A = this chain, B = another copy of it.
């Protein structure tokens, strides 16, 4: 998509939730000269002021102000708030939308949304808020669109073109498939990492344990430092998928426990080798050499 593609340009963009994701989306489009005007809507005045100061947005209004008037003349509305706030916000936005306005979101679970062009950039950072936003956050990352049967094709094309302008690779699938895949590759590992750190933290020897944590521990547990509120919402929203994934994972842990109990070196090596080969085959994940502590 070049800058000449009219699908990849926006006149007025309204970003509801000017945090890491919404702010980075605006910055990425600005860096490609693909947006004329950005209006930020959010809960926190301080965060909006920071976004104004960084020129992420041109104007801003909090949810306590009559912000809905900013929907007037909007070409694209991006809702990038926590998942739990989206249904209420969308209900509040829907009646005020103009006929040609395209609306999309950036949430982690898709089936909670009744309409529009649901989108999910597979990108993020532990830091949050507009202060953490960067124009390059989505570069070479996946963005998944999950259009509904009633979603207009033109709107899907337009939202896809905007994400491509941000540098993302765009794929489409249905919402159920999205939630199943993300449940497996993102929501489950978050449960596993939180559970691991939580189990150590409640032990009386936790301090001694953490003192010997190395780089393997650091990377394995990094996602356990993410926002508990955000992950509570995501986990509950995708609860059925997650419980199923968790059951499959616990079966695999049982196989490891059995191999250890039986001192079955051959089975253990087979299990480890299968996993290591699969992990090493993921070339796209190998760009950053990691370290490992045995």
Chain A interface residues (CB < 8 Å from chain B) = 108, 122-127, 141-142, 144, 171, 177, 181-182, 184-186, 188-202, 205-206, 208-232, 234-236, 239, 242-243, 246-253, 255-257, 260-261, 263, 265, 268-269, 271-280, 282, 285, 288-294
A292: which B residues are within 8 A, CB to CB?
124-126, 222-223, 226
The verdict on A195 contacting B269 (CB below 8 Å), with A123-B293, A279-B225, A294-B230 known, is no
* Minimum CB–CB distance for A229 against chain B, Å: 7
Copies in the complex: 2
The verdict on A276 contacting B209 (CB below 8 Å), with A217-B186, A260-B235, A265-B232 known, is no
Q: Is the CB of A186 within 8 A of B123?
A: no
A195: which B residues are within 8 A, CB to CB?
249, 252-253, 255-256, 271, 275
The verdict on A228 contacting B269 (CB below 8 Å), with A278-B200, A293-B124 known, is yes
Given contacts A181-B205, A185-B217, 19 further A-B contacts (CB under 8 A): A124-B292, A124-B293, A126-B289, A141-B293, A185-B212, A189-B220, A191-B256, A193-B220, A194-B256, A195-B255, A195-B271, A196-B252, A198-B252, A220-B222, A221-B279, A225-B279, A232-B269, A235-B268, A250-B253
The verdict on A278 contacting B209 (CB below 8 Å), with A125-B289, A246-B253, A261-B243 known, is no
Show 19 A/B contacts (Cβ-Cβ < 8 Å), sorted by A: A123-B214, A142-B211, A171-B212, A185-B200, A192-B196, A197-B279, A198-B252, A198-B278, A199-B249, A200-B278, A201-B277, A201-B278, A219-B219, A219-B290, A226-B294, A231-B272, A232-B272, A235-B260, A236-B263
* Minimum CB–CB distance for A213 against chain B, Å: 5
* Minimum CB–CB distance for A25 against chain B, Å: 14
Q: Is the CB of B224 within 8 A of A243?
A: no
A291: which B residues are within 8 A, CB to CB?
123-126
CA distance A225 to B286 in the complex (A): 10
The verdict on A194 contacting B272 (CB below 8 Å), with A199-B248, A217-B285 known, is yes
A216: which B residues are within 8 A, CB to CB?
124, 186, 189-190, 222-223
A197: which B residues are within 8 A, CB to CB?
275-276, 278-279
Which residue of chain B has its CB nearest to the CB of A132? Answer: B289
CA distance A287 to B68 in the complex (A): 42
The verdict on A260 contacting B276 (CB below 8 Å), with A189-B196, A222-B219 known, is no
Q: Is the CB of A212 within 8 A of B182?
A: yes
Q: Is the CB of A225 within 8 A of B276?
A: yes
Q: Is the CB of A252 within 8 A of B199?
A: yes
Which residue of chain B has its CB nearest to the CB of A255? Answer: B195
* Minimum CB–CB distance for A141 against chain B, Å: 7
A182: which B residues are within 8 A, CB to CB?
212
